């Protein structure tokens, strides 16, 4: 029996990319590929790139070059680029980076197995010429669902074909029956689920809509089925992701659909925590705030994309709001949930930003009480409106403001963490190493918002929830004394048919 083809997926960028990688893994496993963790053990290394900002693009190129270095020294025979950078630049990336044996766009995802086999066999798959993906769907959101089947939407897969896997090694049973089109690439008790793809906003600094396309929601049944499948895999926290979760449902005829869906997801057996990310402040509505602060098992966590707070800068960004409006929004949230978590990102040095504008942003960050803050210095992005603006600031001015706001953000988030000392939190254990038990409280999202170290835990296990009292803080991180285990694990439920590991 021939040895199975092996493939490793290296994922960069955001949680949306992680979902896309797991869909690719599901497609490849369904077609007989063996997924391995280490690129050095794979026939093909697939790098899921990020194309958002210059630093992310550099990381993607570095990852491709690192994988290329494996060729000739082990099993690796080919390196393939997929993801946002591959979609955004296509042939241009292939020409600039001959070390990549293939550059595949989103349209190649449904045929990923054939594409990799062609490349592995020494064949050539021509990289695509990038196009504005916003033009692939109707302008009217109400007309998009009927046209969606003809458009590649990574992360939207519902079920894989009910076909057996050929040439499985002895001792492995073939898959049978329909299965979720996704394979988990780790055993973390937290996983993301895509609510939608694309974005209809036209922020002048952002290129994402051009290569991710117009906004389109996934159907609630698909979201629920995937969340159920994840729960059967041992996932205890579901994180809802998209480019803009506050728009969910507008193309399905109900802009309030997320409020209903939150309760349905939280009611799934095994799902003990639901988190919503990627929220637009200008689209926050009272009903959504009520649902996020008042629905059982939905954590009051608000990932709000403020970007700036000076009205003049926001207008040039093609966004809306002001320092006082944003503070009022946060006040409304905390009136309903005083310990609610809140995070945001900010761009400094945007074209035309004055010292007065920057001072206004400092005023907002000083008074907002955010738990986590990301700060970025402005840089031109290919194809964006802002790249054509006058009033560009010097690199020295941008660097100085980046340093100033970063130091202020560090001070204010540490202060916010210190304010949580003496409060009780519910911590999901995610790591146990050398006797150190770490996890996240409700106000801490995966990867971005700090950790909580638990002390005094008896027989800790990954996936447990513990009620704990915060005793100290270190920057954005907390130290908490365990009080009691809560949300006990399920005692029933089997793995989804054909779901793999």
CA dihedral in degrees (343, 349, 354, 356; nearest 10)? 30
Q: What angle do CA 42, 44, 48 make, to 5 degrees?
A: 110
Backbone angles phi and psi of 344, in degrees to 5: -165, 170
Cβ proximity of 15 and 189 under 8 Å: no
Contacts of 334 (CB under 8 A, 6+ apart): 340, 369
Rounded distance, CA 26 to CA 183, Å? Answer: 5
Tell me whether residue 327 is exposed, middle or buried, using C-beta atoms within 10 angstroms of its C-beta: 0 to 12, 13 to 18, 19 or more.
middle
CA-nearest of 374, 163, 386 to 277 is 374
Is 84 annotated among the ligand-binding residues?
A: yes
C-alpha span between 486 and 445 (Å, rounded): 19
Q: Contact 35/29 with Cβ under 8 angstroms?
A: yes
Backbone dihedral region for residue 278 (phi beyond 0: left; psi -120 to 50: alpha; all else: beta):
left
Query: What is the β-pairing status of strands 216-217 and 301-303?
Result: unpaired
- Looking up tokens 């285990």, which residue turns up? 485
The tokens describing 128, both together, are 């695509």
1: exposed, middle or buried (Cβ count in 10 Å: 0-12, 13-18, 19+): exposed
- Say which DSSP state 173 is in: P
DSSP SS3 for 437: strand
What are the counts of helices (DSSP H) followed by strands (DSSP E) for the chain?
Answer: 14, 20
Task: Please report the beta strands in 248-300, taking only residues with DSSP state E, as ranges in sequence order.
Answer: 273-276
- Residue 280: HSE in the Cβ half-sphere, 13 Å Cα cutoff: 17
499: left (phi over 0), alpha (psi -120 to 50) or beta: alpha
Give every CB contact of residue 62 below 8 A, 6+ residues apart in sequence: none
312 is in an annotated binding site: no
Asked if residue 14 belongs to a known ligand binding site, the reply is yes
| Distance separating alpha carbons of residues 265 and 110, to the nearest angstrom | 27
Record the tokens describing residue 253, joined without a space.
Answer: 């005829």
The three-class DSSP label of residue 479 is strand
Whole-angstrom Cα distance, residue 74 to residue 72? 6
Residue with tokens 């949300």: 487
Sheet strands (E) in 331-423? 341-348, 372-377
* Binding residue ranges: 14, 50, 84, 199, 203, 206
* Binding residue ranges for [4Fe-4S] cluster: 14, 50, 84, 199, 203, 206
């Amino acid at each position: 029996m021939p040895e199975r083809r092996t493939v490793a997926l290296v994922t960069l960028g955001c949680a949306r990319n992680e979902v896309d990688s797991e869909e690719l893994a599901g497609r490849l496993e369904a077609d007989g590929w063996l997924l391995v963790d280490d690129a050095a053990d794979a026939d093909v290394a697939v790098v899921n790139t990020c194309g958002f900002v210059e630093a992310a693009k550099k990381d993607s190129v570095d990852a491709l070059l690192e994988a290329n270095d494996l060729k000739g020294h082990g099993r690796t025979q080919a390196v393939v680029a997929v993801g946002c950078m591959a979609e955004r630049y296509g042939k241009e990336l292939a020409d600039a980076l001959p070390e990549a044996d293939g550059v595949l766009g989103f349209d190649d995802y449904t045929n990923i197995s054939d594409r990799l086999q062609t490349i592995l066999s020494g064949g050539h798959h021509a990289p695509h010429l990038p196009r504005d993906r916003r033009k692939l769907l109707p302008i009217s959101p109400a007309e998009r669902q009927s046209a969606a089947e003809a458009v590649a939407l990574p992360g939207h897969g519902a079920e894989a074909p009910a076909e057996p896997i050929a040439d499985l090694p002895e001792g492995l049973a073939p898959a049978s029956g329909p299965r979720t089109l996704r394979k988990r690439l780790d055993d973390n008790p937290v996983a993301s689920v895509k609510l939608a793809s694309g974005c209809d906003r036209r922020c002048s600094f952002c290129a994402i809509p051009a290569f991710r396309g117009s906004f389109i929601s996934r159907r609630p049944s698909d979201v629920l089925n995937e969340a159920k499948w994840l729960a059967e895999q041992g996932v205890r926290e579901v994180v809802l992701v998209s480019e803009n979760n506050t728009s969910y449902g507008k193309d399905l005829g109900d802009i309030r659909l997320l409020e209903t869906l939150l309760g349905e997801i939280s009611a799934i057996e095994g799902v003990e925590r639901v988190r919503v990310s990627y929220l637009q402040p200008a689209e926050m509505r009272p009903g959504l705030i009520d649902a996020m602060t008042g629905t059982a098992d939905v954590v009051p966590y608000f990932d709000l994309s403020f970007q700036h707070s000076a009205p003049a800068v926001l207008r040039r960004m093609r966004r809306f709001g002001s320092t006082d409006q944003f503070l009022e929004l946060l006040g409304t949230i905390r009136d309903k949930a005083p310990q609610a978590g809140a995070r945001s990102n900010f761009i400094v040095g945007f074209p035309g930003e004055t010292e007065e504008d920057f001072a206004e942003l400092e005023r907002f960050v000083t008074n907002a009480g955010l738990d986590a803050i990301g700060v970025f210095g402005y840089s031109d992005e290919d194809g964006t409106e802002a790249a054509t603006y006058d009033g560009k600031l010097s690199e020295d001015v941008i660097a100085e403001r980046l340093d100033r706001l970063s130091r202020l953000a560090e001070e204010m988030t540490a202060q916010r963490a210190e304010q949580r000392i003496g409060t009780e939190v519910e911590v999901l254990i995610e790591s146990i190493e050398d006797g150190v038990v770490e996890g996240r409280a409700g106000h801490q999202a995966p990867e971005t918002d700090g950790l909580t170290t638990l002390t005094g835990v008896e027989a800790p296990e990954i996936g447990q929830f513990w009620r704990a009292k915060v005793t100290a803080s270190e920057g954005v991180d907390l130290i908490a004394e365990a009080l009691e285990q809560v949300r006990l694990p399920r005692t029933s439920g089997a793995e989804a048919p054909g779901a793999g590991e």
